[in-house]
């Protein structure tokens, strides 16, 4: 094995080009050595149309970062693990919770790392929020996660198709933070999904969650926001309010700002991935995806105005 | 503790009266000592309107069998475990996969048994089918699970409400058998849910599942069957077809009938529950419920004719 972890990025769309490429470039011990995409190439890097071609004809690699849509990721992860490559899964880790279990077994068998990444957990205020809340009794949580789908997901028609997650595509980022910062697991009690009359996936959702102690967690996800996005998790605690604002970039303890930083999430994510591969460990936390699946199972649907981009 | 396991049945509807009461009566070492239901009573047995009243005023009990609708079961299980009672959950174990995790922790903490029961797994041909298939390479599985909702679920309007599971209420029985008899875990690849235009839950569903090896598993669930029900799991294997028929009561190896019996499922289920409590163990397999949640998450919905009972 070479000194650096040789990584191929698979699925060279927006998130790969905007986040993964610069993060790998900034990560000591990581090297981007190939790009796999049916269409898009990167100047100066070997390019392959699919993962099989890379494994057959390409340069040696140690790991793949799967940035393809969730619907095809499981098959690619299975191929990569069978070839004994480490696998980083973009979020959400798959289209179904059940499809990840065999991948965990495959990673174990191959002696390689499977990392179900949740990029929002690496926002700079998330770990400080977790530590702050660890010593508190939380009495209520309110999540407001609203953004303009036309601004943040232009041309992504698949997001409103079945299996495309709809507003849960950003909403799962909030759930990935929530499940990281709360000291106890939460579960879904009630969900209402607002589905455009001409689409299959929800454009807005209201969730009621709870932990075993009964503290209510209420989440509002909405794609119909105009103007600036709102990405906030507000916790009421026995020692005053704790607010995680700006998508995990700002932390307030009552009226005191504890963290306010614009640090990128992906470099920290890659540092952790490298540590996992070095330690021969996997990290597959399916809790955020489970909450989404449960919301779809028990949620009430109501139809709202058709959505045209 | 008395010699028999003293059981209270909570939720005294059809399944409790028709299955649990006679099964407990036939199980050596088990005794039905109370009934909890807002309305229905049983002659000769102490009756309580809710679980709290039983725990406060009732006879000593060792265990509860929760036969209430899945939407309220989690809260009751939490109360029972906090009072250090063993808990048997009827199927499905809850309204959400995520709500079961805290119960597992609570059972562990209380040193009591949590048993997520799947009654169809105790049909007489299921274990023989599992043993037969263990030595085979399975190339294809077809599940046909069709019954007349008017015959099998009269007056159960809740079944078509959000969270009521619709045709997955019987379909999960098929999935509970499937996940027991196959040697490898399966996951959902595709789902199509047919929802009556005046209801929320599907009246029919088609699923495509697979195991890691790629063997296709196709399931057809339908509530619109008239005439006799069809409850069949057909496996093609490298050594000929294996058919599990009559809801797990008949097993055929090619054209040879291996098992054909009408033995009740619940006495075996209760014998196993007693063994779990004696051994201080829990058994919580969420795979069938996970497959349902995944089907709702990634499934395509189409609307079909309104359903009136």
Burial of B2 (0-12, 13-18, 19+ CB in 10 A): exposed
Catalytically active residues of B are 91
Given a cut of 70, the residues of chain A with pLDDT beneath it are 1-2
- Mind listing the pLDDT tens digit for each residue in B5-57? 999 999 999 999 999 999 999 999 999 999 999 998 898 999 999 999 999 99
Q: Do A296 and B300 touch (CB under 8 A)?
A: no
Preferred mutation among B70, B73, B96, B198 to probe A, highest tally of A CBs within 10 A: B96
Number of helices (H) and strands (E) in chain B: give both, helices first. Answer: 10, 15
pLDDT of residue A92: 95
pTM value? 0.96
B291 contacts in A (CB within 8 Å)? 98
Tokens of A298: 């028990």
For residue B96, give the nearest of A96, A184, A294 by CB distance: A294
- Chain B touched by A39 (CB under 8 Å): no
Catalytically active residues of A are 91
Q: Do B102 and A212 touch (CB under 8 A)?
A: yes
Closest Cα of chain A to B188: distance in Å? 7
- Chain B touched by A127 (CB under 8 Å): no
Residue A182 CA, chain-centre distance (Å), reads 17
A265 within 8 A of A122, measured Cβ to Cβ: yes
Whether B1 has a pLDDT exceeding 70, the answer reads no
Q: Do A97 and B186 touch (CB under 8 A)?
A: no
A162 contacts in B (CB within 8 Å)? 298-301
In the sheet that holds B86-89, the strands lie side by side as: B47-48, B30-36, B5-10, B63-66, B86-89, B114-116
pLDDT of residue A6: 98
Q: Which residues partner with B88 through β-bridges? A: B65, B115
Closest Cα of chain B to A59: distance in Å? 27
- Mind listing the pLDDT tens digit for each residue in B51-86? 999 999 989 999 999 999 888 999 999 999 999 999
pLDDT of residue A2: 52
- Chain B touched by A300 (CB under 8 Å): yes
Question: Distance between CA atoms of B49 and B46, rounded to whole angstroms?
Answer: 10
The verdict on whether omega for the bond into residue B73 sits within 30 degrees of 0, i.e. cis, is no
ipTM score assigned to the predicted complex? 0.95
- Mind listing the pLDDT tens digit for each residue in B129-180? 999 999 899 999 999 999 999 999 988 888 999 999 999 999 999 999 999 9
Closest Cα of chain A to B47: distance in Å? 28
CB pairs under 8 A between A and B: 105
- Candidates B9, B131, B136; CA nearest to B64 is B9
For residue B96, give the nearest of A95, A187, A200 by CB distance: A187
Q: Do B300 and A162 touch (CB under 8 A)?
A: yes
- Chain A touched by B15 (CB under 8 Å): no
pLDDT of residue A3: 81
- Chain A touched by B3 (CB under 8 Å): no
A189 contacts in B (CB within 8 Å)? 96, 99
Q: Do B96 and A200 touch (CB under 8 A)?
A: no
- Candidates B49, B6, B307, B276; CA nearest to B159 is B307
Q: Do B290 and A162 touch (CB under 8 A)?
A: no
- Chain B touched by A217 (CB under 8 Å): no
Q: Residue A18, Cβ neighbours under 10 Å: how many?
A: 11
User: Where does A62-220 have alpha helices with state H?
Assistant: 70-82, 100-110, 126-134, 149-152, 168-181
Number of helices (H) and strands (E) in chain A: give both, helices first. Answer: 10, 15
> Average pLDDT of chain B?
96
Q: Determine phi and psi for B232, rounding to 5 degrees.
A: -135, 140
pLDDT of residue A212: 84
Domains of chain A in start order, with CATH, are 5-116 (3.40.50.720), 123-262+293-304 (3.30.360.10)
Please identify among residues 183-212 of chain B the ones whose CB lies closer than 8 Å to any CB of chain A: 184-189, 200, 211-212
């Amino acid at each position: 094995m070479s000194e650096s972890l040789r990584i191929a990025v698979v699925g060279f769309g927006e998130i790969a080009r905007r986040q993964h490429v610069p993060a790998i470039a900034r990560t000591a011990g990581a090297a981007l050595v190939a790009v796999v995409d049916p269409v898009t190439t990167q100047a100066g890097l070997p390019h392959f149309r699919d993962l099989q071609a890379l494994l057959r004809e390409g340069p040696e690699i140690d790991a793949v970062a799967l940035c393809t849509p969730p619907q095809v990721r499981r098959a690619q992860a299975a191929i990569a693990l069978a070839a004994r490559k480490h696998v980083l899964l973009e979020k959400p880790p798959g289209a179904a919770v059940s499809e990840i279990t065999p991948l965990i077994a495959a990673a174990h068998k191959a002696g390689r790392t499977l990392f179900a990444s949740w990029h929002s957990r690496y926002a700079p205020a998330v770990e400080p929020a977790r530590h702050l809340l660890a010593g508190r009794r939380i009495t209520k949580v309110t999540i407001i996660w609203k953004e303009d789908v036309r601004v943040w997901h232009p041309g992504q028609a698949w997001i409103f198709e079945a299996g495309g997650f709809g507003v849960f595509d950003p909403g799962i980022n909030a759930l990935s933070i929530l499940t990281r910062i709360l000291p106890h697991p939460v579960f879904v009690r009630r969900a209402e999904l607002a589905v455009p009359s001409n689409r299959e996936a929800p454009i807005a959702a209201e969730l009621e969650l709870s932990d075993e102690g009964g503290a209510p967690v209420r989440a509002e996800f909405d794609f119909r926001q105009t103007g600036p996005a709102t990405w906030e998790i507000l916790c009421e605690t026995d020692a005053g309010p704790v607010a995680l604002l700006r998508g995990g970039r700002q932390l307030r303890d009552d009226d005191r700002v504890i963290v306010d930083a614009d640090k990128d999430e992906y470099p920290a994510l890659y540092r952790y991935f490298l540590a996992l591969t070095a330690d021969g460990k996997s990290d597959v936390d399916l809790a955020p995806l489970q909450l989404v699946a449960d919301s779809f199972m028990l949620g009430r649907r109501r139809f709202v105005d058709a959505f045209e981009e």
